Structure 1
C-alpha cells in the first residue's frame, strides 16, 4: 500500500463488510459499484462524530487494496509532514479523512489535487463533520467539493454502537450491560468507549478478572 512514508496505519477491523446502519446501505452499494468503474470521481462523506466516517474511508481503502489498486489514506487530524497533500500524485483511490481540519495551505493543496485528478481514474473520497457549504473552507475549494457526490451518514443509536463494538472487540467477552453503563456514565462517543474498553481489557488480563460493571467502577473510578 502506498502511504508515502506517512506514520499512519489502517485498522484491519474497519471494513465495508462490517459497516452498519440501514440508511447507510446506499453508501455501501455506491462504493462497491465505484470499485469497478473507470474515470475519476469525487465523493464527499459527512456525518457527526462517531457516525463512522473513518470506518467508511478505511473500509474503502481495504476494498480497493483487495482489487489490487493503489491506495492512500490520510487523516488530517493526525500530525502530518509539511506539504503532504501538495506532494500527492493521483493514484487509484485517495481517502482523505477530516478535511474540516485542513489548514489554509492544505486547503489550497486539496483544491489543486481536485483539479489534477479530473483527467485520471482517481477516486477521491473525502470526509468532514458537515456538508461542504457548512465548512469554514476557501471559497474555491468549497465550490469544488459542492460538486462531489455527497452522502450524509446516519447517527447511530446505542444498539448500533454496541453492535459495532462487539464486532471490533470480538476477542473480548463483555456483557452488553457494561457497554450501556459506559454510555451512561463515561461517554456516548463510540471512539471514547472503544478506547476505554481496550484499557479495561488490558487491566482485566493483568488482574485476571472479568470485565463487569463493578470492575469498570474500580478501574475508572466512576
Structure 2
C-alpha cells in the first residue's frame, strides 16, 4: 500500500491529484521529449537520488509530467509530495516539513524568484533532499539562471542536476494529443473537426484539453455528434473557446 504523506500540504496534494488523476506517462504525447520522459521514469523506478530541472512555456505539459511521476511513484509504492509555487497558500514553512527521503515535485518554481526568504526555503529543501537521498523534480518557465533568482547558490544547485527543456508540440503532434484525449473519453471526432478547433483555440494544451472536455459534455447533454457546425455554435456561445 502506498505510504501517505504526513505533511500539512497533503490536503492540497489530494486536491491536485483529483484535478490531474488521469495524468500519466502513457497519455502524455512525448513528441520530441523522449529523452526527458525516459529519464523521469528511470529516476522514479530506480529511486535514484537526483535533481531534475524541467523548463518550458506555460501549457507545454510540465505539470502533467510531475503528476505522471507521482502516479508512477504511487504504483511503485514510493511516497511523494507535490507543491505548485503559483498557489498562494504554499509557504516556506510548508517546504520545511517535506520528507527529504521521498520523491518531491515542485511545480512553477519561478513563481518564488526574487523573494529571498522563499528562495532560502528552496535552497534548504534542496540541501535536505541531497543529504536525505530523495529525489527532486522541479519545473520552471525558463532555465534556472533566467528566472530572476537572487540567491546565486540556489541557481547553482538547480543547475547541478539533469536539465531538460520541454519542447512544445508541433501542430500535427497537438492534433494527435487531442485525438488521444478524445479517445480516452470515448469521443469520436474527425480530424478536420479537430483541425478547425485548433485553428480557433489557444495553443495551450491545458486549455485545449479543457475545451475538449467541455465539448464532450455539451455533446452528451445535447445528444449531438461533434461536427464543425456544432463547434461553431459553442464558439458563439462561450468566449472561453476563443483565442486570448
Partner of 1:23: 32
Report Cα offsets for 1:116-145 as digits up to 9, x if no partner. 112222110001111101111122322211
Alignment size in residue pairs: 222
Q: Which moved more, 1:138-147 or 1:57-66?
A: 138-147
With over 3 angstroms needed to count, the CA separation of the structure-2 counterparts of 1:179 and 1:198, relative to structure 1, is: same
Q: Which moved more, 1:60-69 or 1:81-90?
A: 81-90
Segments ≥4 residues shifted beyond 6 Å: none
Q: Which moved more, 1:71-80 or 1:108-117?
A: 71-80
Shift of 1:147: 1.2
**What is the RMSD of the two structures over their aligned residues, measured on CA atoms?**
2.1
Unaligned runs of 5+ in 2: 237-241
Partner of 2:84: 75
Report Cα offsets for 1:147-197 as digits up to 9, x if no partner. 121011222112211222222332222222222212212212211111111
Asked whether the equivalents of residues 96 and 125 of structure 1 are also in contact (C-alpha less than 8 Å), the reply is yes
Matched, 1:125 2:137: yes
TM-score with structure 1 length normalisation? 0.90
Matched, 1:147 2:147: no
Distance 2:216 2:42 in 1: 38
Q: Which moved more, 1:142-151 or 1:161-170?
A: 161-170
TM-score with structure 2 length normalisation? 0.82
Q: Which structure 2 residues correspond to residues 45-84 of structure 1 after superposition, within 5 A?
A: 45-82=54-91, 83-84=93-94
Match of 1:199 among 214, 218, 223: 214
Partner of 2:125: 113
